[in-house]
A and B are shown apart, each in its own frame.
Chain A
Amino acid sequence: MMPVIRRSAAFSYREREQTSARTRLLWVTALVIVVYLADLALGGMLRGYARAAAAVVWSAGTRVERGVARSGLFASRQGLAAQNEALRAELADARARSAAAAAALSENELLRTMAGVAADEPGLTVPVVSSFTASPYGTFFVGAGTQSGVAIDALVLAPDGYAIGRVVEVTAHTALVAQLFAPGTSIEALAGTVPLTLSGEGGGNATARVPRGAAIVQGDVVFAPSVGGRPIGVVGAVSPDITDAHTNVSVRTPANIVTLHYVRIVTL
């Protein structure tokens, strides 16, 4: 005679709950995979909906932030924050102007040796609508799209004229921009006459290794042929390693990329 195993009602209920939770998780896993593949097949249509919803949240957040600022709530704290922000902006502005001057000098030297003539390009000044720090892929959104003449591959410039990215996806009212120094990317560049391959690290920073003794000094402006010879950054630090035949070079965009509220998109 087989022994009869009796389970308590509580144990049975818990087991049922766990099985049901596991089944739910399995279904969601399948759903996530299906949604991702469907999005790929539909050319990113589904992520377009997600981005449209996020854009509503971002703009609502901006409105709330402005409303709180106008209301005078947290006034003393806001005052300090504003002062801090103003000082930061002043510092960034001074850095940007200094870098812009350096870029202009280097560019002048470059132009003297070039046959082409630089012409003013048509462009749009557009607001940055998303956070710079939220993206793990070095991307951000701007509030202009095809309706404003933004196209894929359009170059994105910081207010000081330094190239910071390219438009990689565009909808009617927004565009996704990939930073030139996004993590995991690399870009060929020139610091003076020294060619270097910059590896992006995100946040407007990049690094390169050049042969020891290469004529690179802090403050040199770095240009990239792939963005029409525009400046993309300045040399922030040069760290020779006596045990190595190479020198490590850090390059950054002069403007603090995280604090940019507007960028310029070149529309050709």
Chain B
Amino acid sequence: MTGLRIMLALAGVAAAMTLPPWVALIAVVALAAKWRAWEAPLIGLLIDSLWLPAGAPWSVVPTYTLVSLAIVWALEPLRARFL
């Protein structure tokens, strides 16, 4: 199980750098659905750090950081119920 988690996390990181963003998002959802995955928000942060142009603080929204945080915490009740 830990192996699968590591593989998903590495796939998410690799996807963040080289593949379309939805691939990384799938990895984030898969991680967050099964585990309290601290890797998920880091993948979101990596996508934004790499690709989001810097600008005025409120003019650029770090969408993928926020989405990955939302996913990982929104799935918490589901994990608490079934894990």
Contacts and interface: CB of A to CB of B under 8 A. Distances in A.
Interface of A: 18, 21-22, 24-25, 27-29, 32, 35-36, 39-40, 43-44, 46-47, 50-51, 54, 57-58, 61, 130-131, 133-137, 139, 168-169, 176, 178
A28 B53 contact: no
Given A43-B54, A134-B17, A139-B53, 18 more contacts: A18-B83, A21-B36, A22-B76, A24-B38, A29-B69, A32-B42, A35-B45, A39-B49, A50-B46, A51-B50, A54-B50, A134-B18, A134-B21, A134-B50, A135-B21, A135-B50, A135-B51, A136-B51
A57 B36 CA distance: 28
Interface string B16-28: 1111110000000
Contacts, number: 88
Nearest to B68: A32
A133 B36 contact: no
B74 interface: no
A29 B41 CA distance: 7
Majority SS of interface residues in chain B?
A: helix
Interface of B: 15-21, 35-38, 41-42, 44-54, 57, 62-65, 69, 72-73, 76, 80, 83
B15 to A, nearest CB: 8
Given A50-B46, A136-B21, A136-B63, A29 B53 contact: no
